[in-house]
């Protein structure tokens, strides 16, 4: 099976889990989802974007597919190919966060893979529903392949961004575009209607309350761009998904769908790895740099580096045959 259960959690993991469970979860469970909350989220993200990047990377503000985007690149000569890029899609329940809140993971990918990482600030609630978020993510992917000339693209995302990651692969197949060479899904939300599922619970999740998804659910269908395609990534044809790595926190609210996806991809003969860590919080790979956080980042980087090497080997072989 492609599912790896990691054991022996660090002591720091217990501390983070308990803090999230007893302090953060009660706040999130009853936090009002009102216009002033959206404004507060936006203000926090804009403030975080003003931080100076670490010394090991350079960040450039660009527009990609019509959306503001942070281009993150490792400093210094890398010797890496110039035809490969990462498209990163941040999480935040389609209502919060952005490139500024996710620089830890985008910096890690840029440094670990030695390729440019494009973190898209796609439209979210209340500016647009999920159909609009999907549109912005896919247009960014389309531009990377088109005007920007990248041949090999990895798509990665956490939580809500994990949903967008799967949608980009689905829409690439539907529009006869080259598929991503790999996907990385970190605690991915894979079911847009999860809040309505009677067979799902957040009882064992460190801080995510499923009741808030039921509140957000009707907002996900706000325009201005209508939603198209599958509302569950597990309903996408497995053959449309390239090699995929998934990282989850054991028993988090979104893990059952991730396990289902990994099993389906494996049954379809697709390359997939799922790593499940106990006593972790949702999206710990993005948020924390304790032992498990760094280990999971290393797993993602190693998996994606191998996918890049495989894609280049296949490309070279094709050119030799054509020649």
In this predicted model, what pLDDT tens digit does every residue of 218-257 receive, in sequence order? 999 999 999 999 999 999 999 999 999 999 999 999 999 9
pLDDT of residue 261: 98
Strand pairing report for 57-64 and 67-74: antiparallel
Task: Using the structure block, give the residue that is written with the tokens 């002033």.
Answer: 36
Location of structure tokens 């609630």 = 125
- Do residues 28 and 253 touch, judged by C-beta distance below 8 A? no
| DSSP H or E stretch at residue 139 | helix 130-145
pLDDT at 63: 98
Decide: 83 and 100 in contact? Cβ < 8 Å: no
Whose tokens are 């959306």? That residue is: 67
The fold of the 3-322 domain, in CATH, is Rossmann fold (3.40.50)
pLDDT for res 108: 96
**pLDDT for the residue 77:** 64
Give the mean pLDDT of 26-48.
84
What is the distance between the alpha carbons of residues 71 and 151, in angstroms, rounded to a whole number? 17
Return all residues near 215 (Cβ < 8 A) that are at least 6 apart: 33, 195
Structure confidence at residue 319 as a pLDDT band (50, 70, 90)? low
Assigned token pair, 171: 């829409």
Domain residue spans of the chain: 3-322
Tokens of residue 243, six digits: 């090699």
Strands 272-277 and 117-120: unpaired
Tokens of 167: 């949608």
């Amino acid at each position: 099976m492609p599912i790896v259960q990691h054991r022996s959690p660090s002591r720091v993991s217990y501390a983070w889990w308990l803090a999230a469970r007893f302090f953060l979860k009660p706040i999130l469970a009853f936090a009002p989802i009102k216009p002033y909350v959206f404004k507060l989220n936006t203000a926090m993200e804009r403030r975080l974007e003003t931080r100076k990047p670490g010394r090991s990377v350079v960040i450039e503000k660009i527009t990609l597919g019509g959306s503001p985007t942070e281009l993150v690149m490792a400093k210094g000569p890398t010797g890496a190919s110039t035809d490969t890029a990462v498209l990163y899609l941040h999480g935040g329940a389609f209502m919060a966060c952005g490139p500024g809140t996710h620089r830890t993971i985008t910096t890690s990918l840029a440094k670990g893979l030695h390729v440019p990482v494009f973190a898209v600030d796609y439209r979210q609630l209340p500016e647009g529903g999920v159909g609009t978020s999907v549109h912005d993510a896919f247009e960014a992917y389309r531009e990377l392949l088109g005007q920007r000339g990248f041949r090999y693209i990895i798509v990665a995302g956490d939580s809500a961004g994990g949903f967008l990651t799967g949608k980009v692969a689905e829409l690439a197949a539907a529009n006869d575009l080259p598929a991503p060479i790999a996907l990385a899904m970190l605690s991915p939300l894979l079911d847009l209607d999860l809040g309505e599922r009677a067979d799902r619970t957040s009882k064992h999740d460190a801080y995510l309350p499923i009741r808030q998804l039921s509140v957000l659910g009707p907002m996900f269908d706000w325009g201005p761009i209508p939603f198209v395609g599958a509302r569950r990534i597990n309903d996408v044809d497995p053959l449309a998904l390239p090699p995929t790595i998934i990282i989850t926190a054991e028993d988090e609210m979104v893990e059952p769908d991730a396990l289902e996806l990994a099993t389906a991809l494996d049954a379809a003969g697709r390359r997939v790895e799922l790593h499940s860590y106990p006593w972790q919080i949702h999206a710990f790979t993005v948020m924390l740099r304790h032992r498990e956080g760094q280990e999971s980042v290393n797993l993602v980087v190693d998996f994606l580096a191998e996918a890049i090497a495989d894609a280049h080997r296949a490309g070279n072989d094709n050119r030799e045959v054509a020649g």
